[in-house]
Amino acid sequence: MPTGTKLGWTIVVAGFGLVLLIIWITYSRSKHRRDEVLAERLINEFHQQYNLTEIGKANEDSSPKLVRIRQIRTELGMFRRIRSCKIRGFSEPPMLTAECLSRFDRGEAQESFIFGDYQKDHPLRSYSATFLRVAVSERRNAIQ
């Protein structure tokens, strides 16, 4: 095979590989953005319900998840805002995860969410909140 032909095929294969790489990067970015938008919507809906949840003990027939959310609501107070959030989407099994640093009445907490993708209704599979810092107003009240 002449040298020019080998060089030509090398350029064609490299060009084809570059096109595939550009398509993959574009797809990955758009999928990540769709995952972020969906996770933000689901987290916002969760926090709206969280703020409507009554504090204190749940009924005996309440789900364990609701019992835990009521405990967290009692400890942290009302949700105020998200300071930062890291969102990841997975294909197998289909789910979204989010780790958020959030502000509540009584301080800051690290929230963890896992949303499933069964039947495309994205149910909340897991939620936890780890208390990190007391709010400035709470510190002042404790000192006085």
Residue 105: inside a domain: yes
Torsion angle (degrees, nearest 10) of CA 13, 16, 21, 23: -170
What pLDDT is stored for residue 143 in this prediction?
A: 43
The more confident residue out of 8 and 115 is 115
Residue 68: inside a domain: no
Expressed as residue numbers, the domain containing 102 is 3-51+79-143
DSSP strand pairing (124-134 vs 79-90)? unpaired
The total domain count for the chain is 1
Report which secondary-structure segment, H or E, holds 125.
strand 124-134
Residue 57 has pLDDT above 60, yes or no: no
What pLDDT is stored for residue 10 in this prediction?
A: 80
What is residue 82's three-state secondary structure? strand
Residue 28 has pLDDT above 70, yes or no: no
What pLDDT is stored for residue 58 in this prediction?
A: 55
- How confident is residue 25, by pLDDT bands cut at 50, 70 and 90? low
What pLDDT is stored for residue 29 in this prediction?
A: 63
Least confident segment among 7-16, 51-60, 63-72, 92-101: 51-60
Residue 78 has pLDDT above 90, yes or no: yes
> Helical H runs in 53-131?
64-76
Residue 124: inside a domain: yes
Maximum alpha-carbon separation in the chain: 88
What pLDDT is stored for residue 144 in this prediction?
A: 45
Residue 54 has pLDDT above 80, yes or no: no
Residue 13: inside a domain: yes
Residue 137: inside a domain: yes
Residue 57: inside a domain: no
Residue 111: inside a domain: yes
What separation in angstroms does the CA of 54 have from each of 79, 85, 118? 13, 26, 28
Residue 44: inside a domain: yes
What pLDDT is stored for residue 59 in this prediction?
A: 61
